[in-house]
Structure 1
């Protein structure tokens, strides 16, 4: 048991997060309600209750922060997309729907159900003491109280009950699954003949008049249109820029070193073996006294023969996790064990055996078998690391101090970026941008917020500095339009060769399609004429071979009541494909095993039924969503 606690400390943290956080990620934004009530702008209503814009924005910011904590190297804008915002809104609505349904159905979780769930859930086994009580020490190590944890568990169980009846009711036999998968994964033996536009292109020689007519056709104008753009100059205030303007003295670096000794040392660790005689805290005094007496007996035996400690532990220790290893707990640092055990272990000398140590698990006899760590790196060894950290902190402090001044200055002196660049020692950079970030854009130029400002009336037509925007944490940027380039059609002379290439491709594809359709008609009239058809091959949804997706979809949709069956389709990749289906084949038996198929089939039905029931609840609870619910908040 003690060995488990030590070795699974990180597992405890991870599983605890898995158990607790989903209630907040998907359902637990209710705690924001007092804050939300101050907003009159609702994004949705559930059972007559509003989800305010303030709640939605707060929940989405919280979600972004959680994602950034998990993936710190990704740009924050990757999380703030219309799809991500819609996901946040869907989760908020789902939380409200299920809570409302729970209330209407009078679903509650009694203390007995709560305790039973805690005792039965294998994922919570590491939180249970041998007597089934909650391990308070492990919860406290994560800053959680027993009451708080159990309340969250109660809420989670209560909400699960709403969907449990539907989610647990689906039945699917292996025979049903087999029939469904046989249909889905049916194989077809086919022959193909391809008519590639490239093979026709060499013979096409359009005249200048044809090329110009193609250029002038309004249907083709988008090919020759130059997108609206703006040539801008911009300045960026961020930590990287400010790091270049700050310095740190030796005294500051040494003070940081002295104040953070723990960071620059190798943690001290001990290795120990122990013998545990279990004694529950709530046990009768006589039983505890008996356990302690047994531990005293074993201590006396251990001291008579210290070299035989491992054998003694194997035969007598009641810690199942370590007894098989002779009581060995491997190396552990401070904070890994309960305090009485830790204090005793760190007070022992190498090879020394402790007195009997009492903890919440019982009585221990401890032998120290090794120690390591405790060394400290010198200042010179970590100077570069310290300097980077101190400069970052100084830059952060300066950013906090200067951000508001930067914001005010680009607004108050809006006819130029030079004053703000001079004051904050920033480089004025230049770029050409469009209304949407270009594929290769990075940093501030990838910010939709900045581009919206650039193409706003004040910046675009009045040539004023944009408002300072924050495209990322600890980054502020302002831009100025130097030249506006409206969307425009390029002249025929500029795009003559481009127009010629597009026209040739169009005409070549038309000829390929015409040739393919002619071959298809000929094949239908004379089914024995197989000239040009390739070797037979087997295709299915799991085995596309070299068949384009659109063609495969067409093949699998053709009526096969009479074989052979012939058809043709434009692949969308410059090729027209004529194909013949010769025969049907059962699915590949090795594609999926029967047991797994039945499980997937049942899961699919369960998901479908749960979704249907949830949609029914949404209708019953009159869920209404505003048209711009998931739009970005106004700046």
Structure 2
């Protein structure tokens, strides 16, 4: 079918015009699209539709965040499971029902709240100029690279703040009693002294001699376990901003222009070191108090002018600034806007030279006498010093722009020129690479390798790629990276003959029967110990807690803590699967650290946070049940159903 579309484009375009244009007259463009293809949507909440594009973007953003957080530990297949995909869709539905409720209650965020969030954003903080203002032009440029205007970004922040109000009010009301917090904390800190007696499967392996018939029967029952996976030999292209950055080489003129245009980024503003004497005279003081303070300040100014070398001693004795008086009035080094005295203080201080003293300076706090003790002039880093960092920044910017400009064209050409990747390689100057892949990620490759991307592997092993030998679509890997491939050779999965895997089958049977023997002996020994209370053969005593299991398996720790603490010693058995069987002897139960008010308070807070999250989830579930939610089938585009 795809080949027919590709080879008869003009005919298909004419047919589509005949079908679509009349249809638009009856339904309208959007209505016709929904009528014609529900696969464009994944769900609807009341009158709002969640499109597949919106869902795909949310899934990609989640994986990008995980990739940034985990780095080399990131495993794409762990984040691209049916459960994870359903969680992403549930999150979008919850956001929509919460948005509807927020709108119904007319909740919004104030301009001041939006401003505070923006100013606390590290991204925006990095755009501050030496005088404390925001470089608006650079702010607009950075947002434009993300496809947004400042107004759109403000609206996004306001929307986010409004959505947080209802969950925040629920979370703030959560409460946990001291009694419950103390009880749970005591349980978590409870210590248990245990000894172990292990029946290792490996100790029984030599006793197992499986017959040929047993091996044959195991092979027949587990044939798929020995199958060799399908393999595809592929050619592939990767278009990424990182690759474009490596190939980008800005000219010297471009680097110099960037330096000149962003000079404030490379300038360290001037600073001074000053001391002051403050005589308090708040704005709301009476005229008499104002006059009295001024006279006192004038007297001290005369004394300072007569004995400038004694400024520190005079400040220590008479200054009414508790923060600096004990240090002789020293305020340390500061730039404009860093001292609370405001513009009047700054103008006076920065007009002085080293070792000069001001006259009386009035601010909202009172009367100051300022003496400058050191001056650090403004310094602009020379071009050669910052050239390397400019090169990195400019390459990243040019690469991001290049990727944005090329992504659509790359996507189109690998689809339109379906029988070869060479046209795309030539147009975008990319290296055509080759590899052999299987449907599952290759553990020998880095987890973030493009060849381990689940969506990419799914596309490679699709019928269109394997049978028709067409290029895959351009797969978005996140982090501004696209990959497309073409299968040049394919070998289907195969189940080898029994003779070829006989030794592997034998090892499987031996391991299975050895584990069963270990379990049988372990269970028999457990029954005997529960009667005799013997201690022979056990390991040295080990003290475990729920918070510190000492490397013990979760199943073993659970069994130990289920043992009756009132009837010690107690014996419990745990099946270790292929590893065998273990018996634990619980000798003693001890309480953990003494409960202090601080520990109880911390436990209260932690438990309250858990309860609050549960209450928020219950509230969102209630909103969802109250809304009309329709799912357009599973995320693999199965038939739709109503919730």
Q: Same fold (TM over 0.5)?
A: yes
Equivalent position to 1:418, from 393, 403, 422: 422
**How far did 1:256 drift?**
3.5
1:575 equivalent to 2:580? Answer yes
> Could you tell me which residue of structure 1 aligns to residue 622 of structure 2?
619
**How far did 1:428 drift?**
0.8
Alignment deviations for residues 93-130 of structure 1 (CA, whole Å, 9 cap, x no partner): 379559949978x9999x9xxx9x9xxxxx99xx9xxx
> Could you tell me which residue of structure 2 aligns to residue 93 of structure 1?
94
Indicate if the aligned counterparts of 1:228 and 1:434 stay in contact, CA closer than 8 A. yes
Q: Report the aligned-residue RMSD.
A: 5.1
The residue correspondences of 1:66-465 to structure 2 (distance < 5 A) are 83=84, 86=87, 90=91, 93=94, 100=101, 159=166, 162-163=169-170, 166-168=173-175, 170-173=176-179, 178-183=182-187, 185-217=189-221, 220-243=222-245, 245-277=247-279, 295-334=297-336, 336-337=338-339, 338-359=342-363, 363-372=367-376, 374-439=378-443, 440-441=445-446, 442-465=448-471
Alignment deviations for residues 275-329 of structure 1 (CA, whole Å, 9 cap, x no partner): 3455656777777676666555544443333333333334444544334433323
**How far did 1:587 drift?**
1.6
> Could you tell me which residue of structure 2 aligns to residue 134 of structure 1?
none
Indicate if the aligned counterparts of 2:42 and 2:635 stay in contact, CA closer than 8 A. no
Alignment deviations for residues 313-370 of structure 1 (CA, whole Å, 9 cap, x no partner): 3444454433443332322345545444434433321122234445555554332222
Give the whole-Å Cα distance in 1 for the aligned partners of 2:73 and 2:548: 35
**How far did 1:586 drift?**
3.4
The residue correspondences of 1:546-585 to structure 2 (distance < 5 A) are 547-559=552-564, 562-572=567-577, 574-582=579-587, 584-585=588-589
Local SS of the residue matching 1:608? helix
Give the whole-Å Cα distance in 1 for the aligned partners of 2:299 and 2:97: 61
1:514 equivalent to 2:520? Answer yes
**How far did 1:228 drift?**
3.4
> Could you tell me which residue of structure 2 aligns to residue 474 of structure 1?
480
**How far did 1:241 drift?**
3.1
Give the whole-Å Cα distance in 2 for the aligned partners of 1:345 and 1:465: 70
> Could you tell me which residue of structure 2 aligns to residue 10 of structure 1?
none
Give the whole-Å Cα distance in 1 for the aligned partners of 2:452 and 2:84: 18
**How far did 1:509 drift?**
0.9
Indicate if the aligned counterparts of 1:188 and 1:538 stay in contact, CA closer than 8 A. yes
> Could you tell me which residue of structure 1 aligns to residue 27 of structure 2?
none
> Could you tell me which residue of structure 2 aligns to residue 484 of structure 1?
490
Indicate if the aligned counterparts of 2:474 and 2:484 stay in contact, CA closer than 8 A. yes
Give the whole-Å Cα distance in 2 for the aligned partners of 1:432 and 1:153: 45
Give the whole-Å Cα distance in 2 for the aligned partners of 1:223 and 1:561: 47
Local SS of the residue matching 2:327? coil
Indicate if the aligned counterparts of 2:278 and 2:320 stay in contact, CA closer than 8 A. yes
Structure 1 window deviating more from structure 2 (613-622 vs 485-494): it is 613-622
> Could you tell me which residue of structure 2 aligns to residue 604 of structure 1?
607
Give the whole-Å Cα distance in 1 for the aligned partners of 2:235 and 2:278: 72
Give the whole-Å Cα distance in 1 for the aligned partners of 2:548 and 2:404: 58
The residue correspondences of 1:537-552 to structure 2 (distance < 5 A) are 537-542=542-547, 544-545=549-550, 547-552=552-557
Give the whole-Å Cα distance in 2 for the aligned partners of 1:153 and 1:449: 30
Give the whole-Å Cα distance in 1 for the aligned partners of 2:384 and 2:184: 69
Structure 1 window deviating more from structure 2 (85-94 vs 572-581): it is 85-94
Alignment deviations for residues 15-53 of structure 1 (CA, whole Å, 9 cap, x no partner): xxxxxxxxxxxxxxxxxxxxxxx99958575xx685845
Local SS of the residue matching 1:472? coil
Structure 1 window deviating more from structure 2 (281-290 vs 365-374): it is 281-290
Give the whole-Å Cα distance in 1 for the aligned partners of 2:591 and 2:216: 54
Give the whole-Å Cα distance in 2 for the aligned partners of 1:523 and 1:75: 46
Give the whole-Å Cα distance in 1 for the aligned partners of 2:540 and 2:66: 51
Give the whole-Å Cα distance in 2 for the aligned partners of 1:511 and 1:485: 41
**How far did 1:577 drift?**
1.4
In structure 2, stretches of 5+ residues that fail to align are 1-32, 35-39, 121-130, 137-149, 639-643
Indicate if the aligned counterparts of 1:44 and 1:623 stay in contact, CA closer than 8 A. no
Give the whole-Å Cα distance in 1 for the aligned partners of 2:282 and 2:159: 27
**How far did 1:574 drift?**
0.6
Give the whole-Å Cα distance in 2 for the aligned partners of 1:437 and 1:610: 35
Structure 1 window deviating more from structure 2 (617-626 vs 406-415): it is 617-626
Local SS of the residue matching 1:193? strand
Local SS of the residue matching 1:521? helix
Alignment deviations for residues 247-289 of structure 1 (CA, whole Å, 9 cap, x no partner): 4443333333444444445543322223345565677777767
Indicate if the aligned counterparts of 2:277 and 2:320 stay in contact, CA closer than 8 A. yes
Give the whole-Å Cα distance in 2 for the aligned partners of 1:353 and 1:290: 22
Local SS of the residue matching 1:232? strand
Local SS of the residue matching 2:323? helix
Alignment coverage as a number of residue pairs: 564
**How far did 1:553 drift?**
1.5
Structure 1 window deviating more from structure 2 (295-304 vs 496-505): it is 295-304
**How far did 1:576 drift?**
0.7
Alignment deviations for residues 207-244 of structure 1 (CA, whole Å, 9 cap, x no partner): 45433332222xx2343123334222111222343345
Distance 1:505 1:180, change over 3 A: same
Equivalent position to 2:502, from 491, 496, 513: 496
Local SS of the residue matching 1:236? strand
In structure 1, stretches of 5+ residues that fail to align are 1-37, 118-122, 128-137
Indicate if the aligned counterparts of 1:102 and 1:159 stay in contact, CA closer than 8 A. no
Indicate if the aligned counterparts of 1:166 and 1:610 stay in contact, CA closer than 8 A. no
Give the whole-Å Cα distance in 2 for the aligned partners of 1:69 and 1:371: 43
Indicate if the aligned counterparts of 2:61 and 2:478 stay in contact, CA closer than 8 A. no
Indicate if the aligned counterparts of 1:89 and 1:630 stay in contact, CA closer than 8 A. no
> Could you tell me which residue of structure 1 aligns to residue 125 of structure 2?
none
Structure 1 window deviating more from structure 2 (185-194 vs 417-426): it is 185-194
Local SS of the residue matching 1:308? helix
Distance 1:626 1:538, change over 3 A: farther
Structure 1 window deviating more from structure 2 (416-425 vs 455-464): it is 455-464
Give the whole-Å Cα distance in 1 for the aligned partners of 2:242 and 2:102: 51
